[in-house]
Amino acid sequence: MSLLRTIGYTGSVALATTSMPVLAAPPADMNIATTLAALTLVVILILFLAWLLKRMKLPGIQGSDGNMKILRQLPVGQRERIVLLQVGEEQMLVGITQQNISLLSKLEQPLSMNEVQSGSEFAGHLTKLLKKNVKK
C-alpha cells in the first residue's frame, strides 16, 4: 500500500510539473535591462520624430494658412534678427529679439521675389531702409 501511495504521489508530482510552463521566466536583471532599453528606444524615437516635424515646417502642423510668409532673415546678433515678412500684399521689416518683436518699417513698394532671393541685394535694401528710418 505504501508502494501505491509512493507511485500515486510521484504521479501527482509529475502532473504538477507538466502543467508548469515549459520556459521559465528570465532573471529579474535581464527583464529590467530590456525594459529600460525599450523605453530608451521609444523616447529617442519620439524626440527624433519631433525634431523631424519641426525641420519639415509643414503648414498644417504649424497652423499657418499661407497669408503670412517669412521671405528673408538677417541675423544681427546671437539671438536677434531682422525678418522680411509678406502679409497678404504688404511687406514689412520686423526686428526680433529674445524679449520683443517690433515693426521696423512697412515697405511702400514691395520687393520682387528675385530681389528677395538674392542675399546681397536684400542686405543693400535693408541698410537703405534702416538709414532712411534713422533720418526720420
Residue 37 shares a structural domain with residue 54: yes
What is the band of 2 on the pLDDT scale with cuts at 50, 70, 90? low
Residue 73 inside a domain? The answer is yes
Percentage, residues of the chain above pLDDT 70: 60
Q: What is the structure's pLDDT at 38?
A: 94
Residue 55 shares a structural domain with residue 72: no
Split into its structural domains, the chain has a count of: 2
Residue 100 inside a domain? The answer is yes
Angle at 135 between CA 128 and CA 127, to 5 degrees: 15
Domain carrying residue 72: 68-107
Residue 10 inside a domain? The answer is no
- Are the C-beta atoms of residues 66 and 57 closer than 8 Å to each other? no
Residue 9 inside a domain? The answer is no
Residue 95 inside a domain? The answer is yes
Given its phi and psi angles, is residue 135 left (phi above 0), alpha (psi -120 to 50 degrees) or beta?
Answer: alpha
Residue 50 shares a structural domain with residue 80: no
Residue 129 inside a domain? The answer is no
Contacts of 90 (CB under 8 A, 6+ apart): 106, 107, 110
Residue 102 shares a structural domain with residue 73: yes
Task: Specify the 3-state DSSP secondary structure of 10.
Answer: helix
Residue 76 shares a structural domain with residue 96: yes
Residue 86 inside a domain? The answer is yes
Residue 102 shares a structural domain with residue 72: yes
6 has a pLDDT exceeding 60: no
Residue 36 inside a domain? The answer is yes
Q: Model-level pTM greater than 0.75?
A: no
